[in-house]
Structure 1
Amino acid sequence: MAAGKRVSALQMLGDFADNTSAHGVRKLHAKSHWLFKVIWLLLLLCATGNILMQVWQLINQYQRRPVTTKTTIHSRSLEFPTVTLCNLNPFKYSKIQNQQFPMETLRRFSKSLNISLEQFGGTPQTGLARVDPDAANDTQDDYYTDEPSEFSVSQFLTEAPEEFRMETLLGLAETSDIQLLAQPISELLVSCTFAGSPCSHSEFSWTYDLDYMNCFQFPRDNRTRSLDVYSAGQLFGLSLILNVDQKEYVPFVTPSAGIRVAVHEYDSPPNLMQKGLTAPPGFETSIGIRPTVRIHQPDPYGNCEIDNPYGDIQTCERSCLEDLIEIECECSRRIDNPEFGICLWRFEGRHCYCMFQ
């Protein structure tokens, strides 16, 4: 090439086509016949379109941030979960007989059902708190009626336990007295073994549940023994013999006897109403579990929180419901909420009704 001589753009493109590694472009320029040029042009355009399509698919796949699930089976020790036990009878019948409000409620139930209280443990007529008849008439609910046609057994079994629990809470000076009316763990627990070693009632802690009130959890927070489990089976788990003390069941409001059991992750709410199991008295009940660990990726792959206090979606939804009720109704069932007093609530349509302590 002579110095200072300008090269045309067409000649530069021809030199590029002759020396490029893209074979389709080189063939397109080298062929002299127009038919071969058209064929190589079509092949070049098809190849280029295929490349662009694959690049576009890869970009879309990357932006979707797909998740790959990897399942791995490990043979190692596992930490034993928390076991929550609740007697279906929240209060001992002998301990509430000196409480004015709950006993008056039971008398109204007895009148509605036309069943005498005398046949339930021999309710004494002396030593009871004096009942005000006018106050009893003021607290009469609409669904307690002397008209048989308006009486609903299913509605009674649903609403009577809630009213009785509320009347019992009304008679307590402190919310801490709830535990004093219940069956203690020393009476409930007859025998206890864990991983082949004996355990005692001191390894259980008392907890309050929104639905079953007085419950006990194993193990307690300040435990001393190791809870690592190396093998599956009944001999390596928790084995209990329990005494529900059925003669102490409160009439009318506790239609069934047994223990409500929930097995859940340590330091998480038990959610006994939705995920609990009922163990009837007089039978052996075996509960086997298999842990499933899910690790969710944080942002930008999702909006999961790393520190989640809930063990499952249902427990989280239940806690959110309680939070919304406290905001909308200014009413709470939680005894550890200092902003609201203890109350029981129920919904009728879109309105909530609360009975306060």
Structure 2
Amino acid sequence: MLLKRSPAEWTLLRLCGELLKHTSAHGIPNVFRAAHWCRRLLWAVFVGFALCCALWQCTEMVLNYYRYPSHEKITLVSNTMLAFPAVTICNLNSVRYSSVRKSVTMTKSLQDLGLKQSHRRNKSSCWNTTCPDSPAESDSYPRALRKFASQFNQLSDEEKIAMGHQLEDMLIFCNFHGQMCDTSFFSGFVNYKFGNCYTFNSQKTTDIRGAPISGAALNTTRAGFVYGLHLELFIQQIEYVKDVTHSAGIRLLVHNHAASPFPEDEGVNIPPGTETDIGMMKVLIKRLKSPYGSHCTDGDGIKNFYHDVYGSRYTRESCKRTCAQLSIVENCGCSHWEFAAPPDLQYPKCNLSAVGVSECVELYGYKFAHGMLPCDCPLQCKEELYQLTVSGSQWPSSAFIEKFSSDLREMGGQLSTIADSPQLIRDNLVKVVVYYQQLNSEQIEEEPSVSEIDLISSMGGLVGLWVGFSVCTLVEFFELFVDMLVFFAQRCLWKAVPNTYANPCSERGRASFTGHKTTNM
């Protein structure tokens, strides 16, 4: 039995029915316009199926958008001018032999190191035989080497700088982009492994001793060998410390001027007696911040000792080394000389001769090397890399060495002592050229795979494909929603106001009838 509907309900049904019969959404009007009930049923099933498919695919699109997928876009950028990178050079010998001899403690440590080295070489005869000594003795030379490095790094920075190779003695010739340069173009720092290191174009305003230098940024407007950085260096093999330095030459790194160089892990070795040409190409990497997959950072809120000490910007490597330093400080009670430590850290440098310190430092050094420390060090959002192409040739050549020898005699000092021997010249001198192969740079940029516009466009295409919805269709349903609000508002107002209206004709007729009856009475 059907319930009897009120006129208001019939009006609401009529309001909805008019929209559904004439909506621009394909399929829905056919449910109401079909003459036979079977056709109506088929249309209703099909429209329901299409709506479910559209809803399912739109849900998948939204979920994929909130997974924040990304892709890499590689672009070759042509430039008329490129900023020249910083170039760091370190002598492979960390401390001069003449300076070591002035220190009684380091001389004794060096003698012990020489004995251990000699003992280690004698042990090489035990390759196919059984050695009577314990396995612990095989580690005596590395321990003696670490002890020597520990004693060197216990010194103050001023003492270490004085004991290392001086740029004034090493730099024979410097030319950049066809213009002469000198030591005022170099800043410096002390590395625990290589001693004094010097950086060309670091854009810092002080040198390794704190004296003012030119910090202007250098650019290049031409690519090629002629327009690069030309250096001739005297490595002073006569000052090399035997049993400590096993190879001769310099360590060279090409890096961004705002990043901390780590020559112990990066760079290339340049041997003496050669002209080494290093062609480079700039690669700029840009990553997306969280919530995208790389979760990169600009270093905000992350402790970075290398920024505190050297003023360099955040890198993942500097973060890891800061984390390692903090782990050693917290667990060993000292700061390790391999990592940067700001002056306000207020912890002494680790003395590996102290009881328990060596084992503690070795433990956390092992954890650092194997990535076992709990460090939260995301990638940097902007990173500059330089792809290097290295080639070399004999230098100086046999045809040029006689003229070059006369130039060395005029320079005087230690250079004059090697000027008469072509072999000594090739053993002690290095030439290196660093230049851009081309002014094009490669840019690798991480981009969102799905943007807001892509999401809306794809959802609109799917809904239009399955059920024919468009923006106009949405406006139609919005119009229905507004009409329904108005309808219910009118009903509420109609019920809230009491029916006080009286028909004047009825009142007048009733009064006349009453008066007529009274008169007759």
Residue 204 in 1 paired to residue 186 in 2? yes
> Structure 1: which 5+ residue stretches go unaligned?
116-146
Aligned to 1:192: 174
User: 1:239 deviation in Å?
Assistant: 1.6
* Partner residue, 2:101: 97
Residue aligned with 2:324, SS: helix
Is the Cα–Cα contact under 8 Å of residues 246 and 257 in structure 1 kept in the other structure?
Answer: yes
| Aligned counterpart, 1:337 | 343
State the alpha-carbon separation in 2 of the partners of residues 18 and 225 from structure 1: 75
Q: Of 10, 29, 33, which aligns to 1:26?
A: 29
TM-score (norm 1): 0.76
Question: What is the deviation of 1:48?
Answer: 0.9
- TM-superposed CA distance for 1:102, in Å, is 1.0
Distance 1:305 1:270 in 2: 19
* Aligned mate of 1:38, from 38, 41, 44: 41
Contact 2:299 2:314 in 1 (8 A): no
Q: Which residue of 2 aligns with 1:63?
A: 66
- Normalization by structure 2: what TM-score? 0.54
Cα 1:149–1:289, aligned 2, differ >3 Å: closer, same or farther? farther
SS of 2:51's equivalent in the other structure is: helix
Picking from 218, 228, 238, the partner of 1:227 is 218
Mapped to 1, the partners of 2:132 and 2:217 lie a distance apart of: 58
CA distance in 2, matches of 1:225, 1:349: 40
Check if 1:290 corresponds to 2:281.
yes
Partner of 2:151: 167
Contact kept in structure 2, 1:94 and 1:248, CA below 8 Å: yes
Query: Alignment partner of 2:173: what SS?
Result: strand
Change (3 A) 1:247 1:6: closer
In 1, the alpha carbon distance for the partners of 2:71 and 2:117 equals: 60
Any idea what SS the aligned residue of 1:306 has?
Answer: coil
Distance apart, 1:312 and its partner CA:
4.6
2:297 to 305, 313, 320: 305
SS class of match (1:340): coil
Structure 1 50/291 Cα, relative in aligned 2: closer, same or farther at 3 Å? same
Deviation at 1:233, TM superposition (A): 2.6
Distance 1:28 1:93, change over 3 A: same
Corresponding pairs, count? 317
Taking the TM superposition and a 5 Å limit, the aligned residue runs for 1:211-250 are 211-220=193-202, 221-222=204-205, 223=214, 226-250=217-241
Give the SS at the match of 1:27.
Answer: helix
Q: 2:162 aligns with which of 171, 176, 180?
A: 180
Q: Is the 8 A contact 1:87 1:214 kept in 2?
A: yes
Aligned-partner Cα distance in 2 for 1:313–1:107? 39
Q: Which has the larger radius of gyration?
A: 2
* Structure 1 residue 215: Cα displacement: 1.1
* 1:258 is aligned to 2:265: no
Q: Distance in 2 between matches of 1:17 and 1:230?
A: 69
- Partner Cα distance (1:199, 1:307) in 2: 34
Query: Structure 1 residues 161 and 190, CA, compared in 2 at 3 Å: closer, same or farther?
Result: farther
Whole-angstrom CA distance in 1 between matches of 2:139 and 2:267: 23
Residues 8-42 of structure 1, C-alpha deviation per residue, up to 9 Å, x if partnerless? Answer: 36655544433333342221122232332232122
Question: Cα offset for 1:104?
Answer: 0.6
Would the alpha carbon gap of residues 212 and 327 (structure 1) be closer, same or farther in structure 2, given more than 3 Å must change?
farther
| Unaligned residue ranges in structure 2 (runs of 5+) | 1-5, 120-130, 206-213, 301-311, 353-357, 366-521
Report which of the two has the higher share of helix.
2
Partner of 2:451: none
SS in 1 for 2:269: strand
